[in-house]
Amino acid sequence: MRYLFRRFQRLVVVMVSVTFLTFLLVNVLPGDVAYEMAGMDSSEEEVQAIRDELGLDRNVVLRYLDWAGGILTGDWGASFINKEEVWHALAQRFPVSLELMLLAQLIALSLAVPMGLISAYRPGGRADRVIGTLAFASVSMPSFMTAILLIFFFSLHLGWLPATGYEPLSAGLWENLRPMILPALALGLVEWTVLMRTLRAEMIGVLQENYIALARAKGMSDARILLVHALRPSSFSMITLLGLQVGRLMGGSIIIEQIFGIPGIGRLLVHAVNTRDFIMIQGCVTLFAIAFVTANFLVDIAYAWLDPRVRLERARG
Amino acid sequence: MADITPDRLEGSSAGAPDDNADAIASHNRKNRLGLGFWIPLAWLAVVVAAAVFADFLGLFPADEIDWMHINEGPNDAHILGTDHLGRDMLSRIIYGARVSLTVGFAAPLIGVGLGLVLGILAGYYKGWVDEVIGIAIDTWLAIPGLVILLLFSVVFGGSLGMVCLSLGLLFIPTAARITRAATLNHSNREFVLAARAMGASDFRILTVEVLPNIIWPLIAFVLIDIPIAIVIEGALSFLGLSVKAPTPSWGGVIAEGREHLEGSPHISLIPTAVMFMTVLSFNLVGDAIRKRLADVRDGAI
Amino acid sequence: MSEPLLTVENQRTAFATGRGLVRAVDGVSFTLERGRTLGVVGESGSGKSVLSRSIMRLLPPNARSSGEVRLGGRDLTAMSEKALRALRGPEISIVFQDPMTSLNPVMTIGAQIGEVLTRHLGMSRKAAKARSVELLASVGLPQPDVRVDQHPHQLSGGMRQRVAIAIAIACEPALLIADEPTTALDVTVQAEILDLLARQQAERNMAMILITHDMGVVAGRCDDVAVMYAGRIVEQASTEDLFRDTRMPYTSALLASIPRLDDPPHRKLEAIAGRPPDLIHPPAGCAFSPRCRYADDLCRSQPPALEDAGRGHRFACWRPMTMEAAE
Average pLDDT over residues C1-10: 84
Average pLDDT over residues A190-216: 90
Torsion of CA C26, C29, C32, C38, to 10 degrees: -50
User: What letter would DSSP give residue C60?
Assistant: -
Q: How confident is the model at residue C94 (pLDDT cuts 50, 70, 90)?
A: very high
Tell me, yes or no, if B268 comes closer than 8 A to chain A by beta carbon.
yes
Q: Which residue in C has a C-alpha nearest to residue A312's C-alpha? A: C154
Residue C104 has pLDDT above 80, yes or no: yes
The angle that helices A143-150 and A236-260 make with each other, rounded to 10 degrees, is 60
Considering the four listed CATH numbers 3.40.640.10, 3.40.50.720, 3.30.450.20, 3.40.50.300, the one that applies to the domain covering C6-315 is 3.40.50.300
CATH T-level topology, domain B78-298 = MetI-like fold (1.10.3720)
Which pLDDT score, from 0 to 100, does residue A212 have?
A: 92
* pLDDT tens digits, one per residue of A134-188: 998 888 888 888 998 898 888 888 878 887 778 787 878 888 888 888 999 999 9
User: Which residues of chain B are within 8 Å of residue C276 when distances are taken between CB atoms?
Assistant: 2
* pLDDT tens digits, one per residue of A233-290: 888 888 888 887 888 888 889 889 988 989 999 999 888 887 778 788 888 888 888 8
Which pLDDT score, from 0 to 100, does residue B288 have?
A: 85
Which pLDDT score, from 0 to 100, does residue A2 have?
A: 61
* pLDDT tens digits, one per residue of B27-85: 445 456 778 888 889 988 998 888 888 777 767 776 777 777 777 777 777 777 777 77
Q: Which of A7, A9, A12, A14 best probes binding to B when mutated, by most B CB atoms within 10 angstroms?
A: A14
User: How much is the mean pLDDT over chain C?
Assistant: 86
Residue C191 has pLDDT above 50, yes or no: yes
Residue A4 has pLDDT above 70, yes or no: no
Q: B256-260, C40-44, C219-223: which range is least confident on average?
A: B256-260
SS3 sequence of chain A: CHHHHHHHHHHHHHHHHHHHHHHHHHHCCCCCHHHHHHCCCCCHHHHHHHHHHHCCCCCHHHHHHHHHHHHHCCCCCECCCCCCEHHHHHHHHHHHHHHHHHHHHHHHHHHHHHHHHHHHHCCCCHHHHHHHHHHHHHHCCCHHHHHHHHHHHHHHHCCCCCCCCCCCHHHCHHHHHHHHHHHHHHHHHHHHHHHHHHHHHHHHHHCCCHHHHHHHHCCCCHHHHHHHHHHHHHCHHHHHHHHHHHHHHHHHHHHHHHHHCCCCHHHHHHHHHHCCCHHHHHHHHHHHHHHHHHHHHHHHHHHHHHCHHHHHHHHHC
Which is more confidently placed, B190 or A95? A95
* pLDDT tens digits, one per residue of B103-159: 999 999 999 999 999 988 888 887 888 888 888 887 787 777 788 888 887 777 778
Q: Identify which of A140, A259, A288 has the shortest CB distance to residue B227.
A: A140
| Full strand arrangement of the beta sheet holding C232-238 | C92-95, C175-179, C207-212, C37-41, C224-229, C232-238, C314-315, C307-308
Which pLDDT score, from 0 to 100, does residue A131 have?
A: 92
Q: Which of A144, A211, A241, A280 best probes binding to B when mutated, by most B CB atoms within 10 angstroms?
A: A144
The listed range with the strongest mean pLDDT (B230-244, C2-16, C119-133) is: C119-133
Average pLDDT over residues C87-94: 91
CB interface of A with C, residues 106-165, below 8 Å:
122
Q: A120-124, A276-280, B244-248, B269-273: which range is least confident on average?
A: B244-248
C106:A215 CB<8 A? no
User: Which residues of chain A are within 8 Å of residue B143 when distances are taken between CB atoms?
Assistant: 18, 21-22, 247, 285, 288-289
Q: How confident is the model at residue C287 (pLDDT cuts 50, 70, 90)?
A: confident
A142:B155 CB<8 A? no
* pLDDT tens digits, one per residue of B4-27: 333 333 333 333 333 444 444 444
Which pLDDT score, from 0 to 100, does residue B61 have?
A: 75
Report the percentage of chain A scoring pLDDT > 90: 23
Average pLDDT over residues C101-106: 89
Q: How confident is the model at residue A311 (pLDDT cuts 50, 70, 90)?
A: low
Residue B164 has pLDDT above 80, yes or no: yes
Which pLDDT score, from 0 to 100, does residue A37 have?
A: 64
User: Which residues of chain A are within 8 Å of residue C116 when distances are taken between CB atoms?
Assistant: 218-219
Residue C264 has pLDDT above 70, yes or no: no
Chain A: partners with 3+ C-beta pairs within 8 Å: B, C
Q: Identify which of C15, C180, C254 has the shortest CB distance to residue B10.
A: C180
Which pLDDT score, from 0 to 100, does residue B10 have?
A: 31
Tell me, yes or no, if A210 comes closer than 8 A to chain C by beta carbon.
yes
Which pLDDT score, from 0 to 100, does residue B246 have?
A: 73
Report the percentage of chain B scoring pLDDT > 70: 84
Q: Which of C102, C106, C209 best probes binding to A when mutated, by most A CB atoms within 10 angstroms?
A: C106
Q: A260-269, B153-162, B167-176, C176-185: which range is least confident on average?
A: B153-162
Q: Which residue in B has a C-alpha nearest to residue C102's C-alpha? A: B11
B234:A144 CB<8 A? yes
Which pLDDT score, from 0 to 100, does residue B3 have?
A: 36
Which pLDDT score, from 0 to 100, does residue B13 have?
A: 35
User: How much is the mean pLDDT over chain A?
Assistant: 83
The residues, ordered by sequence, that sit 6+ positions from C269 with a Cβ below 8 Å of its Cβ are: B3, C257, C259
* pLDDT tens digits, one per residue of B181-238: 888 877 777 777 777 777 777 788 777 777 887 787 788 888 888 999 999 888 888 8
Q: Identify which of C85, C96, C103 has the shortest CB distance to residue A219.
A: C85
Chain B and chain C share a number of CB contacts under 8 A equal to: 87
pTM of the shown model: 0.80
Q: How confident is the model at residue C174 (pLDDT cuts 50, 70, 90)?
A: very high
Domain spanning A87-316: CATH superfamily: MetI-like (1.10.3720.10)
Residue B2 has pLDDT above 60, yes or no: no
Residue A315 has pLDDT above 60, yes or no: no
Q: Check if the beta carbon of residue C131 is closer than 8 Å to that of residue C139.
A: no
Q: Where are the domains of chain C?
A: 6-315
Residue C228 has pLDDT above 60, yes or no: yes
C24:B13 CB<8 A? yes
B151:A251 CB<8 A? no
Residue C147 has pLDDT above 90, yes or no: yes
Q: B30-44, C24-38, C158-172, C234-248: which range is least confident on average?
A: B30-44
| Element (DSSP H or E) covering residue C29 | strand C20-32
CB interface of B with C, residues 27-86, below 8 Å:
27-28
